[in-house]
A and B are shown apart, each in its own frame.
Chain A
Amino acid sequence: MSFEQLFHDVYPRLHRYCTRLTADSDVAEDAAQEAFVRLLDHGVTGERSRLKSWLFKVATHLIRDRVRVKDNRARLLEENPVQPPPVETPAEELQRSEDVARVRAALDSLSERDRTLLLLREEGFAYRELAEAVDVKATSVGTLLARARERLARALDDEDET
């Protein structure tokens, strides 16, 4: 697999993962692209799955290291989205803003480990890879995922009530 094939295969999912994690398209784009630059810098080689895990791990660390991500999250919650698409009516825009803010708040209420597990699982990572990403035993991943989903569902319920 060439670098370009790997890029086209992984980048869209890595970008989505980063966007979901940060709620900031610019930060997500920076982190996803920087992960690939580092892949080249470090001359990392191996199986596709290993390279994919490596990229997600590096992007996660990059995002974690950026303090301004938190600021951006807060800003997003305060300001709500900008520039609605022309096809969206004011009512639809309001609904979307509320939906996004509600999920974002629920997700942010989780621990970093729960959040990472849920988002990586959504991108198709196997238990073995998830275990490596959050540094737990592979046999614990099912339990941790079940709890993380339960917590997120409860947090969504709480958001619905407020």
Chain B
Amino acid sequence: MTNHPDDGRLQTYLDGELSFDGLEAVERHLLSCEPCRERVDALREREARVKAALAQLDRQMDAEGREVEPEAALWRVRQARARRRSATRRRRLATAATVVLLLGAGAAAAMPGSPLRSWIAGDDEPVRVETAEVETEGAALSFQLRDGEGRVEIVEPGDEVELQLRLAQRAEVHVAAPPGASFETGPGWARITGGHRGALRVELPMDARRASVTVDQRSRVELREGVLEVDGREVDPRQAADDEGWISLPRAPDGGDGGRDEGEDHLEQAPEEA
């Protein structure tokens, strides 16, 4: 046999990246070629040595007493993201205000459908992690309470999204969103962004120690130890609900003291900084 495979091909063979035909050819060659078998052994040995050497670098972190803490890291990512979105909105508002002043285009900005209007409103790109089926059919999810508490954040619901709430004898929070919505979830919380048209239904466990619903960071619903408050006012679910137990929430809070800053909730439930 004269056509010995080169190191690259043998490496590809060792890494399991050869096509079926290529694999068969190399193995057939190795059966009859002692020197190439020795080269494969040498490559394998070198690979193990490199792997062991690189693993040494991880000891540095161990020595510093550092550990990878995904929960804390995830919290920091979400905080950074929230800060950035907030800063982007502020920037857009400031820039838009300047443009309106300079151009005297306040009236144009107020017109429905005006690009300037949506710009001023700060329509960020939606957070979309997995939205394909949601885009076409709508979707639903359930999540468990965390330490008896749960939170649903509704972000920038579409103008034709109707918010509905029901208390249920169940252990988890259930959310059904209309088409066009995207979901994010974590321990004890879910965030639903967007949505085109239809009912966005939230079912909270009656027995939750605490459960809340916010819309665009404004607290709309609080359930504490069986006491339900909507927009800061205590509500009797039996009187406020329809025959199926659904309570319709007005688009905007109708007064009351419901506009608490959502940032407090994040801080309360987030893991401590490393």
Contact = CB atoms under 8 A, between A and B. Distances in A.
A88 B65 CA distance: 11
Contacts of B70: 7-8, 11-12
A152 B50 contact: yes
B82 to A, nearest CB: 10
Contact of A40 (B53, B66, B127, B131): B127
A36 B65 contact: no
A33 interface: yes
11 contacts: A4-B184, A15-B73, A19-B61, A23-B57, A43-B128, A82-B64, A99-B59, A103-B56, A118-B54, A142-B11, A145-B8
A146 B81 contact: no
Contacts of B129: 1-3, 6, 40, 45
Interface of A is mostly: helix
B58 A20 contact: yes
Contacts of A81: 60, 63-64
Interface residues of B, number: 49
Contacts of B56: 99-100, 102-103
Interface of B: 6-12, 15, 17, 43, 46-47, 49-51, 53-54, 56-66, 68, 70, 73-74, 76-77, 80-81, 84, 125-132, 183-186
A41 interface: yes
B267 to A, nearest CB: 18
Nearest to B128: A43
A140 B76 CA distance: 39
Contacts of A122: 51, 54
Contact of A142 (B17, B73, B125): B17
Given A104-B57, A141-B12, A153-B50, A33 B77 contact: yes
Contact of A45 (B17, B54, B128, B184): B128
Given A41-B84, A149-B46, A149-B47, A1 B59 contact: no
Nearest to A155: B53
A143 interface: yes
Q: Identify the 10 closest CB pairs spanning chains A and B, nearest first.
A: A143-B8, A142-B12, A146-B11, A142-B8, A3-B129, A146-B7, A142-B11, A127-B17, A36-B77, A103-B56
A19 B7 contact: no
A83 interface: yes
Interface of A: 1-4, 6-8, 11-12, 15-16, 19-20, 23, 25, 29, 32-34, 36-37, 40-43, 45, 81-85, 88, 93, 96, 99-100, 102-104, 106-107, 118-119, 121-122, 126-127, 140-147, 149-150, 152-153, 156
Given A45-B130, A142-B17, A23 B60 contact: yes
B213 to A, nearest CB: 20
B184 A3 contact: yes
A84 B15 contact: no
A37 B84 contact: yes
Nearest to A9: B70
A103 B60 CA distance: 11
Contacts of B183: 2
B53 A150 contact: no
Contacts of B125: 41-43
Nearest to A24: B60
A4 B185 contact: yes
